[in-house]
Amino acid sequence: MSDISIHKISENVWEIPQTGGMRVPARVFASDALLEKIREDATLTQLRNATHLPGIHKYALALPDAHQGYGFPVGGVAALDAEHGVISPGAIGYDINCGVRVCKTNLCYDDLKGKEQQLVDLLFSQVPTGIGRGSIVGTLSEKELDQVATRGVRWAVEKGHGVENDLLHCEDEGFRPGADPRCVSNDAKGRGRGQLGSLGSGNHFLEVQRVSEIFDDEIAKQYGLFENQVVFTIHCGSRGYGHQICTDYLRIVEHEHRDLIKQLPDRELACAPANSKAGQGYYKAMNCAINFAWCNRQLIMHHTRICFEQVFRAPWEKLGMELLYDVAHNIGKREVHKINGVEKEVYVHRKGATRSFPAGRQELPRAYRHVGQPVIIPGSMGTGTYVLKGTQTALDLTFGSTAHGAGRMFSRAKARKQWRAEDITRDLKANGIYVLGQSKATIAEEAPGAYKDLDEVVRVSHELGIGMRVAKMTPVCNIKG
């Protein structure tokens, strides 16, 4: 239990005052109940440590789903000056652009009833899951992999794994500029070549869901959502490719900027000046992993469309299988934010945090620039997923960010000791949820009870105004690594 002094400054807003070597205060956006869970691990210590990063603006912040991570808490956000600040690989995360996308259909829940087992079996047989190799497109050549890294979703579309409209419904339209494969090691490329189009393991999943509740009729209509609609959600990232990039640059940064790192309270916050060779090398390599991850989710989505065609005996286009949106979680972006009344360029580090931009922001895809960005917040395999809308309040309070999920309460090791996979799958099936996974351990690790209350996380985000509730989806079929 953390004994760090933290003060309530308004409803759902807490602050760790600036003391000692802290360059700014730290803020936590959470209810009393969520803060109690956050206090149970090292989240507050890691958040306070992050305030020592050079060039940090306003405050380091933790969102309602925050929990302990590597150096920087998952559910953490920091804006670091683009000229005088630093870039920290650990404050972005190992699974670069771990993210979520939702694909709509025109099917109703009644259309799916009786086909659940057939669908989950087919998805599990067709979408690679689990640790190690596995790819929808086979092993890529290095040239092909570099094209994925620089072109993102467009590479998949040009190869026939999607349509132009998919690009228009993805964060950054599925492409991050500034990617340079020359900054990516052979080790990372070796890991990535055979993993494009795969879920991986851990908390990654492909889940078929039904829209169980609509909170905002007007926005839901603009997003193309309706009650009892069948949708599916994909949660995965850049696989071994992104993990190795983070590993590589942590070593490079630790070697080249030892004196800077010695000034920090935790070496896991290892960082490099934003404009240094190491800092820019990491940023270019990270953008490669961002594009890889978007392409990865695109391939899985399009392959899932083909599975739906087989089960429902109709072309996916006639089934209305259009991408709603794709959001990134572990990501660093150079953005412009108003800080103390002045617009500044900053590198926003979002680790286990979702961008939440309002209507009018030029960064949004054209499809949503007039209404505001869809925000996707998944929970555990037993609870479902929320769709929210980005807001101006998020820009003002959280550098345009909100929660990314329910957030863990139990480590994977503790979860394995407390729950049995057989019990979980039986109980979920009794509630109409069909789950398949590569291993019993993974299912036990991802037990619904291992996570915070998703409804509470979303309630706090909504009441703070950093993401407004639009709809909730509940699970029907789920495959995991």
Q: Could you read off the pLDDT of 31-51 as tens digits, one per residue? A: 999 999 999 999 999 999 999
First-to-last alpha carbon distance for the chain, in angstroms, is: 32
pLDDT tens readout for residues 225-247: 999 999 999 999 999 999 999 99
Residues 6+ apart with CB under 8 A from 382: 424, 428, 431, 433, 448, 475
pLDDT of residue 408 exceeding 90 = no
CA distances from 171 to 79, 94, 163, 321, 362 (A): 19, 20, 16, 18, 12
Which residues are identified as catalytic?
A: 404
Q: What is the pLDDT of residue 417?
A: 85
Amino acid identity of 120? Answer: V
Q: What is the mean pLDDT of the chain?
A: 95
pLDDT of residue 222 exceeding 80 = yes
- Nearest alpha-carbon partner for 295 in 133, 185, 157: 157
pLDDT tens readout for residues 56-111: 999 999 999 999 999 999 999 999 999 999 999 999 999 999 999 999 999 999 99
SS3 340: coil
Q: What is the pLDDT of residue 446?
A: 82
Distance CA 440, CA 110 (A): 30
Burial 360-387 (b: 16+ CB within 10 A, else e): ebeebbebbbebbbbbbbbbbbbbbbbb
Q: How many CB atoms within 10 Å of residue 221?
A: 12
- Nearest alpha-carbon partner for 65 in 463, 409, 406: 406
Provide the angle, in degrees to the nearest 10, between the axes of the packed helices 116-126 and 277-312: 140
Fold of 7-82+96-480: tRNA-splicing ligase RtcB (3.90.1860)
Domain layout of the chain by residue ranges: 7-82+96-480
Split at pLDDT 50, 70, 90, the class of 442 is: confident
Distance CA 68, CA 41 (A): 6
> 358 with 392: CB under 8 angstroms?
yes
pLDDT tens readout for residues 333-382: 999 999 999 999 999 999 999 999 999 999 999 999 999 999 999 998 77
How much of the chain exceeds pLDDT 90, in percent? 85
CB-side neighbour CA atoms (13 Å) of 426: 5
Split at pLDDT 50, 70, 90, the class of 1 is: low
Burial 136-172 (b: 16+ CB within 10 A, else e): bbeebeeebbbbbbbbbbbbbbeeebbeeebbebbbb
- Nearest alpha-carbon partner for 241 in 290, 280, 279, 284: 290
